[in-house]
Amino acid sequence: MQHMKHLLILFLVGFGITTWAQAPKYSNEFLHLGVGANAMAMGNAVVANTNDVTSAYWNPAGLSQVKDWLQVSAMHSEYFAGIAKYDYVGLSHSMGEKGTLGFTFLRFGVDDIPNTTQLIDNDGRINYDNITSFSAGDYAFMGSFARKLKPKGLSVGGTVKVIHRRVGDFAKSWGFGLDAGLQYQKNDHWRFGLVARDATSTFNAWIFNLSQDMQQVFLATGNDLPSNGLELSLPRFIIGAAYSHPIGAAEKGFSILAEIDADFTTDGRRNVLLSSDPISIDPHCGLMLSYKNLVKVRAGASSLQQYQAFDGGKQWGVQPNLGLGLGLKALNIDYAFTRLGAADAGYYTHIFSLKLNLLQPKKK
């Protein structure tokens, strides 16, 4: 546990220092973790069928399907045995034919990280009183708008996002980016979606504030001294197709929905199914069985990757996802059970999310 925490600390502190100076791959990856247990249970394959408050994250065009005056959604999850915490809050407000507004807040962070750079004092003695703590956090604030277009079944949406990343008092950055999305409902069965994340590239401007003592620690441990710089997140395009159909007589309320998505990244070769330079393609899929809006059972497959086996060879692995959703009038409770890491790593996590639908208050 303690060993894992130290490894994670080195990653979080070093991430902002090294990423900008290298190829802009895996930049702002906390923005791609996903929101909502309902989507995670379907392997994040939702850009074509998303139609609630979480659409502001997945595909802003899906906000145009929101009919409630106000929807509120929240999620909390923990990674690496509770060391890292991931939180999400979303709001959406329908203005009828004028469109729908959305707001999203994300935080991924590690708190109470021990700072041991001053553990050994100037006399060469170990002094545990010199140990302090700090937090490393990534924050995103997103504002979205969507509306239906004149062509029947076509919707468009966009998101403006402001990103703030901080590693104690040592480093911080501010960034800005844009997302755009389209949805098209062909008929009662077929839906299609297209999302351009970081459509114009997203930047993070980093500023470092390292004391003389910390600079000496970096040099003594073989690390380069960081300098202020710009980190870019190149565009990512996601396309999806969803098919839904009732099971048996429609009035019985049973239905099935399946979706398959493909992520096209433009930042070079990645460890995904179709890997090339500069574009790599990562497919993922999901399935949902529903009984009206009362019970929904979900499953998905994502992160199809090659892993290094203990014998030195390589093997293919996939991340399975399972979940359950319950609808209680204006409240929806969703649960996802998903595996993190390599196929043989054994990291599992439980994710819960809530969604509340509120009607417009009546005027007195």
Domain range for 75: 2-358
- Determine phi and psi for 356, rounding to 5 degrees: -125, 130
In a domain, 33, yes or no: yes
How would you write the pLDDT of the chain (364 residues) with one tens digit per residue? 444 444 344 334 444 444 433 445 677 888 998 999 999 999 999 999 999 999 999 999 999 999 999 999 999 988 777 788 899 999 999 998 899 999 999 999 988 887 776 677 666 777 777 777 788 889 999 999 999 999 999 999 999 999 999 888 888 899 999 999 999 999 989 999 999 999 988 888 888 887 766 667 667 777 767 777 788 889 999 999 999 999 987 778 899 999 999 999 998 888 888 889 889 999 999 999 999 889 999 999 988 887 777 777 777 878 889 999 999 889 999 999 987 544 445 567 889 999 999 988 877 6
In a domain, 240, yes or no: yes
In a domain, 364, yes or no: no
Collapse the DSSP code of 119 into the 3-class scheme (helix H, G, I; strand E, B; otherwise coil) and give the result: coil
Chain position carrying tokens 């098919």: 243
Q: List the one residue out of 29, 22, 24 whose CA is nearest residue 224.
A: 22
Name every residue whose Cβ is closer than 8 Å to that of residue 251 and which is 6 or more positions away in sequence.
none
Instruction: Give 267-320 as a DSSP string.
Output: SS--SSSB--SS-EEEEEEEEEEEETTTEEEEEEEEEEEEEE-TTS-EEEEEEE
pTM (2 decimals)? Answer: 0.83
* Total tally of structural domains belonging to the chain: 1
In a domain, 270, yes or no: yes
Q: List the one residue out of 211, 200, 159 whose CA is nearest residue 180.
A: 159
In a domain, 363, yes or no: no
> How confident is the model at residue 2, as a pLDDT?
40
In a domain, 7, yes or no: yes
Q: C-alpha dihedral over 179, 184, 190, 195, to 10 degrees?
A: -10
The domain that holds 128 is classified in CATH as 2.40.160.40
Contact (CB, 8 A) for 40 and 323 = yes
The Cα–Cα gap between 82 and 133 comes to: 17
Q: Bridge-partner residues for 248, per DSSP?
A: none
Chain position carrying tokens 């809050």: 89
* CA distances from residue 109 to 217, 218, 267, 281 in whole angstroms, order as listed: 24, 23, 25, 28
